[in-house]
Chain A
C-alpha cells in the first residue's frame, strides 16, 4: 500500500507543475493583459500602464515572473486582488463556506441516492422496477441544471413561497434558516450527480453479479445479503470510486451556475465576478485551488481503490 501511494505521489508532482503553468499562463494568454484591466476602459495612457507593469513585475522576463509566482504560491501567498486589494486568500476564505456546504451536501445526497438506486436497479435488472430506475436516471442526467434551478427558484421560491428563492444564511445564524436556503440548490445539484453515480454503479454491479465468482457464491449457498453487499458491491464500487473525482469536479462546475441563480455568495459567484472584473490573482488562485483539490481527490481515489482491490495494491493484473 505504501508503494502504491509513493507511485501515485511521484506522478502527482509533474501534474501539479503543469497546473501551475496553466494558471500562470491565464494572465498572459488573455488579450489586454492585467494592466489594461486594472486601469479600465476609462484609464490613462501608456505611461500608467508601464508604471503598473513595473509595480507588478510584469515587465520582467516570463520565466522570472513564473519563478516569482511559484515562490509565492509555495509560501501560501496567493497575491492581492486587483479590484479591492484585499489578500486573495481572505477573499477565498470568505466565499469558501457556502460552496463547501453546497458541494458536500450534494455529494452526500448523491451518494446515498445514487448508490442505493444503482444497487437496486442492478439486483432487480430483470424487473420493471430496475427498468424504471434506469429510465429515471436517464432523465436525471439529461435535465440541464440552470433550467431546473431557475424553474425551482421561480415555482418553489416565488410562486409557492415555500422556501426563499434566493440568498444564503450561514450556519452560524441557525441550522433551520441555513437549511431553508441550501435545500433547493443541494437537491438540484444532486439530481444529475446521483443519476450519474446510479448508472455507473448499475453497470459495474450488473457485471459483478453476472460474473463467475458470484455464480460460485450462489452455487455454494452463500446468503443473498452477503453476496450483494459484501462480495458483488466490493468489486462494483471500484470503477465508481475512480469516477468520483470527476463527479466532484463536475459538481464544482455546476455550483457556478447554481450559486449564480440562487445568489449564494460562494466560490462559483466569485469566479464569475473575478472573470468579469479581470481580477487575475483571484481567478488564478481559485483555478489553482480547484485543480489541487481535484488532484488530491484523484490520489485519495487511487488509495481507496488500492485498499479495496489487492491487485491494484500489488501492481499486478488490471
Chain B
C-alpha cells in the first residue's frame, strides 16, 4: 500500500543532486556480520544482541521486528556507534566502505550524519527544547559540511521543504513544543537525510504518532529510499507497518535472528513458530476475529542451551534441546529460520503442523 500524501512538493529527484547517484541494486552500503552486544548490568553482562547479520543495499528497506527486549534498538544503537558506555560490541559493522567495529569515537563522529543517520522513536523529545528548529537543523549543515552560517540557513530551508513541511519560515523560528509530533519527526528526518547520509536507521519512527501521520512519515521515508537510493533499516514491533514498507524482514527473538527473508515470504509462509505467533497477535482489517491470540508464557522450564524459544513454543520436540543455527544464506534475501522444524533447516525437521 502506498500511503496517500496531501502535500504537493516531493523530495528532490536524483538529477538535481548529481553527487548522489540513484541505484537500487549493487553492493550493500550497510553490512553487519556476527554483531554481538553485551550490556553491563549489576548482575553481570547481559547479551542484548547475539551474532546478528544483515546487509542493506541502496534503495532497499529492511525491517527488524520483534517484541520489547528482543534487541532491535540495541542493534540500531550499535550501527550508529551510540551504544551506552560500557557496552561490549563485537563483530563487523561496515558503513559505506568503512569497517566501523572497534573504531574510536572520533571515527564514529566523522561517520554519523555523513554516511549514516538515525531517526528515533521520541518525536518532540528528540529535538532540543531550548534551541529553535532553524538553528538545530542548520547546526547539522555547518557541522557536517562546514558551511558558513548563511548558507547553512538556506540549506535548512531547502531541507525542511524536502520533507514536505509547509510554512518553513515559521517552522524555522519555532521551538519543538510549538510543533506537532509529526512535524518534529519531519524535522528529524530532514536532518538525517540532508548531509549525504546513504543509510538511515529508523528506530520505531512512527510509534508515537497517530495513524494518519504515521502513514505520511512512512511514505516520506519510503520515497527517500526510492528516489534517492537511501538504504533504510526500519525497526518496528508493528508487522503491518513493516509489511507496507520493507523489502526484507528480520524477526528477532532474545537478541538472535529468529527468521529472515523477503517480507512477503516471511509473512505469508512463516517458518519460525515465533513469527507465526507474532502474526497471530497482530490485528488485521477485514477479519472477523473477536479476540487476538497471545503468545503463551513459558509453559515449562527446559535445560539450558537449547532453542531460546523452546519454553514458549507449541511445536517443540526433542531436537530443540540443541540450539538451532540460522542456515547459511544460499542467495541474496534467502528465506531462513532458526528452527529445527523449518523447511529450510535441517533435513530432520519437516514443516510443522499449524
Contacts and interface: CB of A to CB of B under 8 A. Distances in A.
Contacts of B129: 213, 235, 309-311, 317
B177 A316 contact: yes
Given A231-B131, A310-B175, A216 B114 contact: no
Contact of A310 (B85, B114, B177): B177
Given A212-B120, A220-B144, A309-B130, 14 more contacts: A126-B86, A215-B126, A216-B126, A218-B82, A219-B113, A221-B117, A222-B139, A224-B109, A231-B131, A309-B129, A310-B178, A311-B175, A311-B177, A316-B177
Contacts of B143: 220-223, 226
Contacts of B140: 220-222
Interface residues of B, number: 36
> Which of B122, B129, B176, B178 neighbours the largest number of chain A CB atoms within 10 Å of its CB?
B129
A218 B105 CA distance: 11
Nearest to B77: A215
A166 interface: no
Interface stretch (B188-196, B230-238, B292-300, B343-351): B188-196
A316 to B, nearest CB: 6
Given A212-B120, A222-B139, A235 B112 contact: no
Interface residues of A, number: 27
A219 B197 CA distance: 11
A226 B112 contact: no
A15 interface: no
A244 to B, nearest CB: 18
Interface of B: 80, 82, 85-86, 109-114, 117-118, 120, 122, 125-132, 136, 139-140, 142-144, 175-178, 188, 191-192, 195
User: What are the 4 A-B residue pairs with the smallest beta carbon separation, nearest first?
Assistant: A221-B113, A219-B118, A223-B143, A310-B175
Contacts of A53: none
Interface of A: 126, 211-224, 226, 230-231, 234-235, 238, 308-311, 316-317
A220 B110 CA distance: 10
B175 A235 contact: no
Nearest to B112: A221
- Max chain B Cβ within 10 angstroms of own Cβ: one of A211, A212, A226, A234: A212
A311 B109 CA distance: 31
Contact of B82 (A211, A219, A224, A230): A219
Given A216-B126, A222-B140, A311-B177, A230 B131 contact: yes
A183 B126 CA distance: 46
B125 to A, nearest CB: 4
A308 B86 CA distance: 34
A217 B188 CA distance: 10
Contacts of B120: 212, 215-216, 219
B117 A219 contact: yes
Contacts of B114: 221
A317 B110 CA distance: 35
A231 B139 contact: yes
Nearest to B176: A213
B16 to A, nearest CB: 22
Contacts of A211: 125
B191 A212 contact: no
Contacts of B109: 218, 221, 223-224
Given A126-B85, A216-B191, A222 B126 contact: no
B74 to A, nearest CB: 14
A146 B113 CA distance: 54
A308 B130 CA distance: 7
Nearest to A234: B130
Given A213-B126, A235-B128, A222 B177 contact: no
A318 to B, nearest CB: 10
A217 B128 contact: yes
Nearest to A313: B175
